[in-house]
Amino acid sequence: MQHHPRHIAISEFNYGLPEERIAKFPLPQRDRSKLLIFDQGSIRESVYTNLPDILPSNTTLIFNNTRVVFARLFFRKNTGGRIEIFCLEPDSRYPDIQTAMQQHGSVYWKCLVGGASKWKPGTTISLGIDSPAITITAESVARESDHQVIRFSWNADMSFAEILHHAGNLPLPPYLNRTAESSDHDRYQTIYAEPEGSVAAPTAGLHFSPELFRELDHKGIRKIFVTLHVGAGTFKPVKAETLEGHEMHAEFLETDPAAIADILNRKRVGKIVCVGTTSLRTTESLYWMGVKALKKPDIGAEELEVKQWDPYETEASGINAEAALNALIHWINKNKLRRLVIKTQILIAPGYKLRIADGLITNFHQPQSTLLLLIAAVVGDDWKKIYRYALEHDFRFLSYGDGSLLWNQT
């Protein structure tokens, strides 16, 4: 059983991040960002265009192919006041994001509401656009501790995905402190983004260009695509003194038996490198789902979900990646599912042992964040050395910043 991180103090994962080191805009070319390479305690610099020569030829890269939705909607009250609604995730009455996105006429969504105190209960607010002519109304039907459930209705034969595309705004990270520009519509999406559902980009993938993909293919480096729809909780700071007081956000994971089998086959013959923390959370979640399916073959889908502390409280000694992933594939096939669509709340923190990934490509993350805790799980206390080097050598930080290739040290 892995060391339990419950009592880790978040204050131990702080560092000074000057405002000027936060990249407010991306570089003109995706693959020209700097790349810090960390392996066996040593650091060297390169750029993403050199990645095909840096990675061993038997490497497989795992990408998260989710697409960011235009999740910010600006409504007007009858009095003219503006209310911002940020769509977080579908209400629990829908089995998954794609089902909710395809709703016509109305939909229920969990949202954050800016200016909520000015919105009287029982009243609706509206949003109108001219091309095409659509009127969208919003009504708050439930208030929870950290969100509201909003019922959206509209007068056009469109899915909710189409409504967001026409009426919504791109949700740039709050630390950029700027409104989205037209160029962000392209640059805040990966070139391989497909299924809609994220409110934040899997930013490690923003560095990959079509040219870089071609060079990776030429080198024989394989690519596998999985889906984890990134929620706003990825920006949620850890406000509790220790991890025990922090509730990890849950996100929808999607994949199929063929992709899981491909991961297993590639793990047998080479290195697995996850592109981004969300890809890492996805692959490691698959392992723990497989452990559950192996120990209880008739397990239900809800029990199969990975909860925050599962990796630290589930006995898995002697269960390797091959056994776990084979058990998960068997469970999916036995339940006659074409795709696995399920939530994960996995928390990867110091003390966690990676079960599938051998390395991680990722950007530089905020102080005192669960993302930084994940980095520390991969490289141990050397995260301080890595971040100090990046700050001293003009690396750009956060979503539009530079990145790193971190080989697992733990």
Give the start-to-end residue ranges of the domains of the chain: 10-67+188-407, 71-169
Q: Is the pLDDT of residue 80 over 80?
A: no
Contact criterion met (CB below 8 Å) for 200 and 105? no
Average pLDDT rounded to a whole number, residues 86-100: 92
Q: Is the pLDDT of residue 81 over 80?
A: no
Q: How much of the chain exceeds pLDDT 70, in percent?
A: 100
Q: What's the confidence (pLDDT) of residue 144?
A: 86
| Average predicted confidence (pLDDT) for the chain | 94
Q: Is the pLDDT of residue 107 over 80?
A: yes
pLDDT (tens digit per residue) in 288-335: 999 999 999 999 999 999 999 999 999 999 999 999 999 999 999 999
Average pLDDT rounded to a whole number, residues 226-239: 84
Q: Is the pLDDT of residue 185 over 90?
A: yes
Average pLDDT rounded to a whole number, residues 108-130: 84
CATH class of 10-67+188-407: alpha beta
pLDDT (tens digit per residue) in 9-61: 999 999 999 999 999 999 999 999 999 999 999 999 999 999 999 999 999 99
Q: How much of the chain exceeds pLDDT 90, in percent?
A: 85
